[in-house]
C-alpha cells in the first residue's frame, strides 16, 4: 500500500453527549478511492464534517458554536471532538474550515455552489479564481486559468455543455459541474457525500468511470448507499456502524461478510438471503 495521506486516530465526536463517532481510526492512502458505507446514522456525514472542518475541536473540545443557526435543522448545543486527523503534518481536527480548504481538502456540496444564471464554463472559472489571490481576481483570467477550466470540463465530460447556462443542466450534469468546480482548485483530497443520489443509471455509470479516472491523481473519499454502485466501482470499502469502523477491506470480502450483511443490509434482506 502506498503512503498514507490521511490518518485519523481515536476520533470521538458527540452531540449533546450522544456519541456519533466513537474512537474511530481510519487510514487512507494517497491516490486511493475509498468508499464509506454503513446504515443511516452510522456517522458517515459527520466524519466528512470533521475532516472538512464544519465540525471541529478547539483545543480538544468544542462547546456551543454560535455560528450555527438556532432554527432549521436540529443542532446540538454541545459538540465535543477528540482525537486527531493527520494530513501533511497538520491536524485537521483543530483547523478552521477555510484553512482546511486551502490545505487541499475539497468537499462537494459545501462552497462553492453553482450559479444558475451563468454558463458551465463561467461557474468553473469562478471556482478556479477562488484559489488565486484577491488582486489576481480583478484581472482577466490568465491563459493558465483558462487551461485549467478547459481541462476540468474535459475531465468531467461537459466540454459540449461549456456554454450552456448551469440552470439548464440535468441533475447528473450538475453534479459533474460541481466536481469540475472542485477539480480546478487542485484538491489533494476530495470528499463526496452521496454524489450519485438522484442520478439515472447511465449518469451513475459515467460518474463511476469518472471517479476511477480521478483516483490516483486525487485521493477520494465517497459515501454511497447504492450497493450495486459500490459493488461495481469500489475497491476498498470501510463500513461504519454506530460511529465505529465495523469492517474494512476489498469490496468482495465486505459484501460476503455476514456481520456486514446483518447490520448494513438489516431488514432489506430478502427471504433468499440476498440484499434487495
Ligand X SMILES: Nc1ncnc2c1ncn2[C@@H]1O[C@H](COP(=O)(O)OP(=O)(O)O)[C@@H](O)[C@H]1O
Pick from 24, 6, 33, 32: nearest CA to 230: 33
Dist. CA 59–CA 37, nearest whole Å: 30
The grid coordinates of residue 43 equal: 456517522
Q: How far is the CB of 43 from ligand X (least distance, A)?
A: 4
Which residue number, 13 or 153, has a Cβ lying nearer to ligand X? 13
Which of Mg ion, ligand X, none lies near 41, with the C-beta cut-off 5 to 8 A by kind?
ligand X
Which residue number, 32 or 193, has a Cβ lying nearer to ligand X? 193
Which of ligand X, Mg ion, none lies near 218, with the C-beta cut-off 5 to 8 A by kind?
none
Which of Mg ion, ligand X, none lies near 43, with the C-beta cut-off 5 to 8 A by kind?
ligand X
Which residue number, 8 or 42, has a Cβ lying nearer to ligand X? 42
Which of ligand X, Mg ion, none lies near 94, with the C-beta cut-off 5 to 8 A by kind?
none
Which residue number, 72 or 271, has a Cβ lying nearer to ligand X? 72
Yes or no: say if 247 and 254 are a contact pair by the CB < 8 Å rule: yes
Q: How far is the CB of 39 from ligand X (least distance, A)?
A: 7
Q: What is the DSSP letter of 243?
A: T
Give φ, ψ of 272 to 5 degrees. -75, -5
Q: How far is the CB of 48 from Mg ion (least distance, A)?
A: 8
Dist. CA 223–CA 37, nearest whole Å: 6
Dist. CA 186–CA 191, nearest whole Å: 13
Q: What is the DSSP letter of 94?
A: G
DSSP 3-state of 268: helix
Q: How far is the CB of 194 from ligand X (least distance, A)?
A: 8
Which of Mg ion, ligand X, none lies near 75, with the C-beta cut-off 5 to 8 A by kind?
ligand X
Which residue number, 2 or 40, has a Cβ lying nearer to ligand X? 40
Q: How far is the CB of 37 from Mg ion (least distance, A)?
A: 11
Q: Which are the contacts of 133, defined by CB distance < 8 A and separation ≥ 6?
A: none
Chain positions contacting ligand X, by CB under 6 A? 15, 20, 38, 40-46, 74-76
Compute the residue count for the chain: 276
Chain positions contacting Mg ion, by CB under 5 A? 44-45
Q: What is the DSSP letter of 58?
A: S
Amino acid at each position: 500500500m502506498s503512503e498514507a495521506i490521511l490518518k485519523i486516530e481515536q476520533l470521538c465526536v458527540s452531540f449533546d453527549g450522544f456519541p456519533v463517532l466513537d474512537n474511530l481510526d481510519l487510514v487512507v492512502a494517497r491516490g486511493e478511492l475509498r468508499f464509506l458505507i454503513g446504515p443511516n446514522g452510522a456517522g458517515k456525514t459527520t466524519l466528512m464534517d470533521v475532516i472538512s472542518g464544519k465540525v471541529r475541536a478547539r483545543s480538544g473540545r468544542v462547546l456551543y458554536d454560535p455560528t450555527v443557526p438556532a432554527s432549521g435543522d436540529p443542532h446540538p448545543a454541545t459538540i465535543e471532538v477528540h482525537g486527531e486527523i493527520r494530513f501533511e503534518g497538520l491536524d485537521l481536527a483543530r483547523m478552521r474550515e477555510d484553512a482546511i480548504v486551502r490545505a487541499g481538502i475539497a468537499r462537494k456540496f459545501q462552497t462553492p455552489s453553482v450559479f444558475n444564471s451563468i454558463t458551465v464554463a463561467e461557474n468553473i472559472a469562478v471556482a478556479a479564481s477562488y484559489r488565486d489571490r484577491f488582486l489576481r481576481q480583478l484581472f482577466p483570467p490568465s491563459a493558465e486559468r483558462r487551461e485549467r477550466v478547459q481541462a476540468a470540463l474535459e475531465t468531467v465530460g461537459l466540454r459540449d455543455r461549456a456554454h450552456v447556462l448551469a440552470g439548464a443542466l440535468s441533475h447528473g450534469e450538475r453534479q459533474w459541474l460541481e466536481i469540475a468546480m472542485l477539480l480546478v482548485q487542485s484538491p489533494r483530497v476530495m470528499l463526496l457525500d452521496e454524489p450519485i443520489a438522484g442520478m439515472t443509471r447511465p449518469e451513475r455509470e459515467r460518474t463511476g468511470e469518472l471517479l476511477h479516472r480521478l483516483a490516483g491523481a486525487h485521493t477520494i473519499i465517497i459515501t454511497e448507499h447504492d450497493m450495486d454502485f459500490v459493488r461495481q466501482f469500489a475497491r476498498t470499502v470501510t463500513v461504519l456502524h454506530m460511529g465505529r469502523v465495523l469492517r474494512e477491506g476489498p469490496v468482495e470480502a465486505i459484501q460476503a461478510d455476514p456481520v456486514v450483511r446483518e447490520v448494513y443490509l438489516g431488514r432489506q434482506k430478502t427471504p433468499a438471503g440476498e440484499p434487495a
